[in-house]
Amino acid sequence: VDLKKVLEEVDSNRSIIRKLKKGEVPKDLLAKKGRVLELKTALLVVESPNKARTIARFFGRPSVREYGRLRVYEVNLGNYTLLITASGGHIYDLITDVTDVPNIYGVAYIAKKREVAFIPIYTTLKRCMDKGHQFTSETSENSLKCPICGSPNIFDARVTVDAIRDVALEVDEVLVGTDPDTEGEKIAFDIVSTVLPVNNNVKRIEFHEVTKRAIINAVSSPRGVDLNLVRAQLVRSCLLYTSPSP
């Protein structure tokens, strides 16, 4: 990638946008026959709030919008208006209080002749805001308490899910930039599944360093979710909770 050329193109597009906002028709837009200025809005979801803030600052001073408790940074990449936010890590985890089917810590098992089928059952992750404990439960919001300390001050990741969906409704596409490992791929899979009902233009991007160049390259070369990595994480979770203790 010729970074200098990319940055020149970004500066050129920014200049065009500024003129268009003033009601002017830029000469360099008319000079190239058949040129179409494509303006897109995209939501980039990463894991860490600190990472979201750092990425936003690569592209100038970002504006900040609040969707409930979800903080969203807005920056301009020339032909992209990029909204950046964080999932805060996993938004789903194995449920612990399944009662209607035989299960071992949220992994249901169904015996079929000589085989046993294991089915992981997930729900939104809950966090105790007083002590930091994490847990899963399907009890109603009014009776939800931390099972360890009893605190009613609980944050349900369902709030994050709903907020991400609200932002996804406003943009042309959603980019999921969680960590490039099995855990990150599972989080990406969950976010994609969450967003698809409201925006079917969802893509996975991958970067191995948090730099401006890495982000620009990742945004320009999206891929799909690696289902093999997702399956690996699911199998690992099932084995972790269904295997007998040593």
Query: Quick one: average pLDDT of 96-103?
Result: 72
Is the model's pLDDT at 6 over the cut of 50?
Answer: yes
| Mean pLDDT along residues 151-179 | 92
Reply yes or no on whether the pLDDT at 152 is more than 60: yes
Using pLDDT thresholds of 50, 70 and 90, give the confidence band for residue 184: very high
More confident residue, 179 or 21: 179
The DSSP code for 141 is: G
For residue 22, give both structure tokens.
């003033």
pTM: 0.77
pLDDT of 24 higher than 80: no
Name residues whose C-beta falls within 8 Å of residue 233's C-beta, 6 or more positions apart in sequence.
182, 183, 185, 186
Mode of pairing for the β-strands spanning 70-76 and 80-86: antiparallel
Residue 78 pLDDT more than 80? no
pLDDT band at 142 (very low <50, low <70, confident <90, very high): low
What tokens were used for 113? 């002749």
Strand segments (E) across 17-136: 40-46, 63-67, 70-76, 80-86, 92-94, 103-104, 107-112, 115-120, 122-124, 126-128, 134-135
- Cβ neighbour number for residue 159 with a 10 Å cutoff: 15
* 235 phi, psi to nearest 5 deg: -65, -40
| Mean pLDDT, rounded, for 132-140 | 76
Q: Grade residue 171 by pLDDT with cuts at 50, 70 and 90.
A: very high
Q: Average pLDDT of 61-81?
A: 87
DSSP H/E element including 194: helix 182-195
Residue 163: pLDDT over 60: yes
Longest dimension (CA), the chain: 74
Whether 22 has a pLDDT exceeding 70, the answer reads no
Closest by CA position to 84, among listed 59, 118, 109: 59
Q: What pLDDT is recorded for position 150?
A: 82
Helix (H/G/I), strand (E/B), else coil: 82: strand
Who has greater pLDDT, 194 or 31?
A: 194
Residue 246 pLDDT? 47
